[in-house]
Structure 1
Amino acid sequence: MALGPDRRYMTQTQADAAQIDEGLRKYMLGVYNYMALGVAFTGIVALFVASQPALLEAIALSPFRWVLFLGIIGFGFFAPRVMMSGSMAMAHGSFWIYAAMWGALMSPMFLLYTGDSMVRVFFITAAAFAGTSLYGYTTKRNLAPLGAFFMMATIGILVALLVNIFLLQSELFHLGLSIVVVLVFAGLTAYETQMIKNMYSEADGNEVATRKSIFGAFMLYGSFVTMFIWLLSIFGVARE
């Protein structure tokens, strides 16, 4: 039996939608896989640095930790431009350098917290990240208007952190700030996931798609690591 015009139209539309969905799934899977590799690389770097007493002391007790801190902030603002407009080697290199710097900065945590509590907090972070990222992927609500709010909140958190380190030195303030950071970056994860999803286009060539995947992984990686660090400050068990 021949299909009528409407039936043929719907069939073609459904086929096109299925093709887009499959491409989108592969694209998002690439983002998450790249991010997971970055997290694993950060852990390897942190463990390596923690096993080198001289290097660990230089990071934990010298001004070099501030060089790493400022470097991470700088990469957070400028690396995305390199990823989208520089060479592919620079795009890949920016991501791995960023992950290595985070690993070096986080290495003293292996001396501060018990291994069991770090593992437990890692899985808590993974569950929270998965839930908020899934929301960002599936929600029909436009989260774009929240982007400016999250940017201002991130700057405010950075200022509050520095004020507490150099002036207040309050454990209670640090605890309150930890809770705020986790909530802000949970929301930021949902916003970033939706933004990364909306960046997808089935017309992208291989290089453009790879750049977008690296950029997306970079954004989500930063939110994941930040959530982990601040959740660790709330739930981590200090070594005796």
Structure 2
Amino acid sequence: MENRYNNYGEVTETKVAFGTLIRKVYLWMTLALAMTGLTAAWVAQSGAIYHISQGWFFGAIGIELLLVIFLSTRIWKMSFATAGITFGLYSILNGVTMSFIFLVYEFNTIATTFFITAGTFGGMALLGYITKKDLSITGRMFYMALIGLIIAGIVNLFVTNNTFDWFVSIAGVLIFCGLTAWDSQRIKIMLQEMGDEENENTLKLALIGSLELYLDFINIFLYLLRLFKDY
């Protein structure tokens, strides 16, 4: 009888730890999005955006890429606190580089697109979380499509064709919606496998999951903005 009780207790503890970690994934993602949005709004409203040179802008984008690569590849060798600070710095710097959208788009367009993105992202994340179908093969296909999307985006910089840009934007939304569902399922599975207790490693796993979902959200938002730019 005692063994049964212990086994039940272990299962309950595992479920509690897993639930706590999943909530932290989405909480940290939300906080990162808030930091990005508030930073972008402040840079635009304060006028600081007019003092950002083109060289500094592209330099900031380069630093962002380095921070993402650094966090993704070195997270298991750094402390959780360092990883969290790195994620926070990336979110703020991304807000600085995204502040340009306030110069290009109307506030109503930005707000509407944000809410559409939130609904779309939430639906795809929920789908990935609750579906019993293995999305790993589909997810890998979306990653292959992402490579094509990057190439198409580079080509679009030189072609500057509205129709081509429209197709690239549609493809971008679809690809990152698919990646959102896959990332949601993948994060759930990994936390179920490792999330028997809340420790340094499981917290790091939850943090890297937050980063992946954050990037999915941001990309869906930016591609939707490109679609709605004429409306």
What TM-score do you get using the length of structure 2 for normalisation?
A: 0.87
Matched, 1:174 2:168: no
With over 3 angstroms needed to count, the CA separation of the structure-2 counterparts of 1:13 and 1:143, relative to structure 1, is farther
**What is residue 119 of structure 2 aligned with on the other side?**
127
With over 3 angstroms needed to count, the CA separation of the structure-2 counterparts of 1:209 and 1:225, relative to structure 1, is same
Q: Secondary structure at the match of 2:196?
A: coil
Give the partner amino acid of 1:206. Answer: N
Give the partner amino acid of 2:222. Answer: I
Deviations for 1:69-90, whole angstroms, at most 9, x for unmatched residues? 3333333333212223212232
Q: Secondary structure at the match of 1:199?
A: helix
What TM-score do you get using the length of structure 1 for normalisation?
A: 0.84
Q: Secondary structure at the match of 1:63?
A: helix
Give the partner amino acid of 2:200. Answer: E
1:185 to 176, 188, 198: 176
With over 3 angstroms needed to count, the CA separation of the structure-2 counterparts of 1:84 and 1:236, relative to structure 1, is farther
In structure 1, C-alpha distance between the alignment counterparts of 2:2 and 2:133, rounded to whole Å: 32
Deviations for 1:107-128, whole angstroms, at most 9, x for unmatched residues? 0111211111211111100000
CA shift at 1:8, angstroms? 10
Matched, 1:209 2:199: no
- Unpaired segments of 5 or more residues in structure 1? 1-6
In structure 2, C-alpha distance between the alignment counterparts of 1:56 and 1:221, rounded to whole Å: 27
In structure 1, C-alpha distance between the alignment counterparts of 2:124 and 2:4, rounded to whole Å: 34
CA shift at 1:98, angstroms? 1.7
Question: How many equivalent pairs are there?
Answer: 229
* 8 A Cα contact 1:122 1:228, kept in partner: yes
Q: Secondary structure at the match of 2:65?
A: helix
**What is residue 226 of structure 2 aligned with on the other side?**
233
Instruction: Describe how 1:68-217 pairs up with structure 2 within 5 A.
Output: 68-165=60-157, 167-200=158-191, 201-217=194-210
Q: Secondary structure at the match of 1:41?
A: helix
With over 3 angstroms needed to count, the CA separation of the structure-2 counterparts of 1:32 and 1:51, relative to structure 1, is same
Q: CA RMSD in A?
A: 2.5
Q: Secondary structure at the match of 1:203?
A: coil
Matched, 1:25 2:41: no
In structure 1, C-alpha distance between the alignment counterparts of 2:122 and 2:176, rounded to whole Å: 13
- Higher alpha-carbon Rg: 1
- Counting aligned pairs with the same residue, the percent is 30
In structure 2, C-alpha distance between the alignment counterparts of 1:147 and 1:78, rounded to whole Å: 23
